[in-house]
A and B are shown apart, each in its own frame.
Chain A
Amino acid sequence: MSLWADKYRPNSLQKVDYHQDQAQHLTNLVNQGDFPHLLFYGPNGAGKKTRILALLRQLYGPGVERLRTEHMNFMTPSNKKFEIMTVASNYHIEVNASDAGMYDRIVVMELIKTVAQTHQLDSTKQRHFKVILLTEVDRLTKEAQQALRRTMEKYMATCRIILCANSIGQVIPAIRSRCLAVRVPAPTHEDICKILKTICKKEGLTLPDELALIISQNCERNLRRAILMLEASKVKQYPFDVKQSVVVPDWQLYIGDTAKQILSQQTPGKLLEVRSMLYELIVHGIPTNVIFKFLLKELVKNCDISLKHDIVEIASFYEHSLLKGNKTMFHLEAFVAKFMLLYSKFMEESLHGIF
Chain B
Amino acid sequence: MDYLDPEEEFEMMHADELEMMNEMDFTTDAVKICSPKDTRRSLKFSTRFSSNEKIESERSFNLSSELNGVFPLSQTSVVSFNLDDNNENEAQPSTSASIINNKRYLDVEDLFGNTDDINFEDEELEPVLKRQKVDPLSDKDIKQQDLIKKIIDQRKKFKSGKRSNFLSSISYNSSNHTQPYESVSRRVPSWSFFPACDGENQRVYIRFRSADAVHEEISSLSWHTKSVQLLSDPVDEMIARAYEKIENNEAIRSGVNRNGVSILDNSIDNTAELWVQKYKPNRYLDLLSDESTNRMLLQWLKIWDKVVFNKEVNKKRKVIDVYDKSAGNKFTKKNQTLDEGLDENNCPKYKLALLCGPPGLGKTTLAHLVARQAGYNVVEMNASDDRNLTCFKRQLEATTQMCSVMSNDSRPNCLVLDEIDGAPVASIEFLIKFATEKRATRKKKTDKKEEKSFILKRPIICICNDVYVPALRNLRQNAFVLNFPPTSSVRLVERLMEISSYENIKTDMGAMTALGTKTNNDIRSCLSTLSCFRNQSVHLSHVKNANIGAKDMQKGLFTVWQEIFQIKKSCFENNPNSTSDGFSSQNNVMKDRINSVLKTVQSYGDYEKLCQGIFENYLILKPKDSSLTNIAEGLEWFCNFDKMMHVINSSQNYSLFPYLPYNFATWHCLFATFTWPKITYPSAAYEATMKKNKFKQIMDELMSGIIPSIRTFLHRDQVLLDTMPLLMHIAIPNLRSISTQLFTQKEKEDLAKVVNIMIDYGLNYFQERDADGSFNFVLNPCVDDAVKFPGLETFPTSSYATKQLISREIELEHLRKRMSHGELNDIIVEPDGLDENEKNVSTPKGVKGSRNKQVTPNHLQRLTPKIVGSTKVTKKKDFFGREIDSPAGHKHKEFRDEIVKSDVWFHFKEGYSNAVRKLVLMKDLY
Contact = CB atoms under 8 A, between A and B. Distances in A.
Interface stretch (B139-147, B169-177, B393-401, B752-760): B752-760
Contacts of A250: 725, 787-789, 792, 794-795
Given A235-B729, A321-B643, A334-B636, A285 B712 contact: no
Contacts of A271: 619, 628, 631
A264 to B, nearest CB: 15
Contacts of B691: 283
Contacts of B722: 44-45, 222, 224-225, 228, 249
Interface in B705-741: 708-713, 715-718, 720-723, 725-727, 729-730, 732, 734
Given A50-B713, A253-B792, A268-B628, A3 B708 contact: no
B626 A268 contact: yes
Nearest to A273: B619
B726 A284 contact: no
Given A225-B722, A250-B788, A250-B794, A283 B757 contact: no
Contact of B760 (A2, A232, A275, A286): A2
Contacts of B817: none
B712 A318 contact: no
Interface in A258-296: 266-269, 271-272, 275-276, 279-280, 282-287, 290
Interface residues of A, number: 71
Given A272-B619, A282-B692, A330-B642, A2 B721 contact: no
Interface stretch (A14-22, A72-80, A335-343): A335-343
A49 B788 CA distance: 28
The 3 A-B pairs at the shortest CB distance, nearest first, are namely A249-B725, A67-B708, A334-B635
A69 to B, nearest CB: 5
Nearest to B759: A2
A191 interface: no
B179 to A, nearest CB: 82
- B interface: dominant SS: helix
Interface of B: 615, 619-620, 623, 626-629, 631-632, 635-636, 638-639, 641-643, 645-647, 649, 684-685, 688, 691-692, 695-696, 699, 703-704, 708-713, 715-718, 720-723, 725-727, 729-730, 732, 734, 752-753, 756-757, 760, 786-792, 794-795
Given A69-B711, A228-B727, A254 B789 contact: yes
A2 to B, nearest CB: 4
Contacts of B752: 2
B729 A236 contact: yes
A62 to B, nearest CB: 12
Contact of B713 (A9, A229, A266): A9
B642 A2 contact: no
B714 to A, nearest CB: 8
B796 to A, nearest CB: 9
Interface string A215-237: 00000001011001101100110
Contacts of A268: 619, 623, 626, 628, 631
Given A1-B710, A228-B723, A249-B722, A321 B639 contact: yes
B711 A337 contact: no
A183 B626 CA distance: 50
Given A87-B711, A285-B720, A337-B628, 14 more contacts: A50-B713, A53-B712, A68-B708, A69-B708, A224-B718, A236-B729, A250-B795, A251-B721, A251-B787, A268-B631, A272-B619, A284-B787, A287-B721, A334-B638
A2 B635 contact: no
Interface in A312-352: 318, 321, 324-327, 329-331, 333-334, 337-338, 340-341, 344
Contact of A94 (B688, B712, B716, B720): B712
Given A235-B730, A331-B639, A65 B632 contact: no
Contacts of A253: 789, 792, 794
Nearest to A279: B688
A200 B732 CA distance: 19
Nearest to B720: A285
A326 B642 contact: yes
A135 interface: yes
Interface in A90-116: 94, 96, 99
A67 B712 CA distance: 9
Contacts of B715: 44, 96, 135-136
B733 to A, nearest CB: 8
Given A67-B712, A250-B792, A325-B642, A279 B726 contact: no
A210 interface: no
B642 A257 contact: no
